[in-house]
């Protein structure tokens, strides 16, 4: 069986999507288990992208441990073939609200250390007008501007939903002044999407999947996205911050405390906007990432945090959140 044969067979699979942008279909080719990775047609992009995923997979091969190898990439039709990693997703072993295996913390820090060594010289060319190395304020303004652009493009269609959830007209406004005071740090490769559903536990270590959102970025931004998306228990988070701040080069973490909080605020606000839309669609007719009660609880929790940034003192009512999601056409 050729890669194209495996791709055609994978198209007929009813396997669910792995995330919002791809389907990962297990297959066996010449006696070897692989993953056929197929883009989801017309998936609405809610995240900043810099490169095509195969470019990054090639750049990190042999440089970053515990990452599936890219075996094949096709442009037309668009699909990839990745090495199959035997194991279980961290999400399955330790869902949100439960402690992760201890090695996950050290494995994740080891990943971030390895990525901190991959600078622009090791990576595909950056797009035009990408912030210069060390221009942390420019980078922060870029991600904020991109999030604002995505919000502007979608807010008309979702105006009623945002109004019911009491989301301000300009939700990123409280952050703009914070970017000007960011500390300069050298840029390095950042995965930007390391969370429980992108980590496979295999053979006593963690393997890191799905590199489609990789950026040349401030290492503190990478850490902020991981903390936000993984939702560690408080004692785990404290331990991870200590491990990370000690293990990375000093110039990668200088001034991190205040800047980490600014990036976290950005991710918290962005998540409310993006997940409100995705969850409302799931309540209507789209495939649901979680059961309805879990989506309501998650969005209510995110709203409570975001309202703190917006200066809104009103408490979040789960009944109102569910009603808002169900009312969206």
64-86 pLDDT per residue, tens: 999 999 999 999 999 999 999 99
pLDDT at position 83 is 96
Q: What is the pTM assigned to this prediction?
A: 0.94
* Mean pLDDT value of segment 214-231: 98
**In the chain, domain spans:** 87-329
The rounded mean pLDDT for the chain is: 93
Range 203-215 average pLDDT: 97
What is the three-state SS of the chain? CCHHHHHHHHHCCCCCCECCCEEEEEEEECCEEEEEEEECCCCCCCCCCCCCHHHHHHHHCCCCCCCCCEEEEECCCCEEEEECCCCEEHHHHCCCCCCCCHHHHHHHHHHHHHHHCCCHHHCCCCCCCCCCCCCHHHHHHHHHHHHHHHHHHHCCCCHHHHHHCCCCCCCCHHHHHHHCCCCCCCCEEECCCCCHHHEEEECCEEEECCCCCCEEECHHHHHHHHHHHHCCCHHHHHHHHHHHHHHCCHHHHCCHHHHHHHHHHHHHHHHHHHHHHHHHHHHHCCCCCCCHHHHHHHHHHHHHHHHHHHCCCCCCCHHHHHHHHHHCC
Q: What number is the average pLDDT over the span 133-143?
A: 97
For residue 286, what pLDDT band results from cuts at 50, 70 and 90?
A: low
Beta bridge partners of 190: 215
The per-residue pLDDT for 82 is 97
Contact 234, 144 (CB under 8 A): no
In tens, the pLDDT along 3-16 reads: 999 999 998 887 76
Out of 3.40.140, 3.90.1200, 1.20.120, 3.30.450, the CATH code matching 87-329 is 3.90.1200
pLDDT at 304: 96
**What confidence score (pLDDT) does residue 204 get?**
95
Q: Is the pLDDT of residue 314 over 90?
A: no
Q: How confident is the model at residue 233 (pLDDT cuts 50, 70, 90)?
A: very high
pLDDT tens-digit profile of 18-38?
667 889 999 999 999 999 999
pLDDT in tens, 34-61: 999 999 877 777 889 999 999 999 999 9
In 3D, which of 280, 97, 120, 307 has the Cα closest to residue 214? 120
Average pLDDT of the segment spanning 140-157: 93
> What number is the average pLDDT over the span 267-285?
91
Say what the pLDDT of residue 205 is: 95
């Amino acid at each position: 069986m050729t890669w194209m044969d495996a791709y055609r067979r994978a198209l007929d699979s009813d396997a669910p999507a792995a995330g919002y942008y791809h389907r990962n279909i297990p297959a066996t080719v010449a006696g070897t288990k692989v993953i056929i990775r197929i883009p989801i047609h017309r998936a609405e992009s809610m995240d900043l992208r810099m490169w095509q995923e195969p470019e990054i997979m090639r750049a990190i091969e042999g440089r970053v441990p515990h990452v599936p190898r890219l075996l094949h990439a096709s442009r037309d039709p668009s699909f990839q073939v990745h090495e199959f990693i035997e194991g279980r997703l961290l999400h399955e072993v330790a869902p949100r609200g439960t402690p992760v295996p201890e090695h996950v913390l050290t494995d994740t820090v080891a990943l971030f250390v390895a990525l901190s060594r991959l600078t622009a010289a090791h990576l595909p060319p950056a797009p035009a007008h990408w912030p210069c190395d060390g221009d942390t304020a420019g980078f922060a303004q870029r991600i904020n501007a991109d999030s604002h652009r995505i919000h502007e493009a979608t807010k008309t269609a979702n105006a009623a939903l945002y109004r019911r959830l009491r989301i301000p007209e300009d939700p990123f406004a409280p952050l703009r002044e914070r970017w000007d005071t960011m500390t300069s740090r050298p840029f390095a490769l950042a995965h930007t999407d390391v969370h429980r559903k992108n980590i496979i536990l295999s053979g006593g270590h963690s393997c890191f999947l799905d590199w489609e959102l990789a950026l040349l970025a401030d290492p503190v931004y990478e850490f902020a996205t991981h903390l936000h998306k993984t939702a560690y228990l408080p004692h785990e988070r404290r331990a991870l911050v200590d491990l990370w701040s000690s293990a990375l080069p000093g110039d990668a973490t200088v001034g991190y405390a205040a800047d980490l909080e600014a990036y976290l605020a950005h991710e918290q606000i962005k998540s409310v906007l993006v997940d409100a839309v995705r969850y409302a669609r799931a309540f209507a007719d789209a495939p649901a990432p979680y059961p309805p009660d879990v989506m309501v609880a998650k969005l209510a929790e995110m709203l409570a945090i975001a309202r703190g940034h917006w200066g809104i003192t009103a408490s979040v009512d789960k009944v109102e959140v569910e009603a808002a999601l169900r009312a969206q056409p």
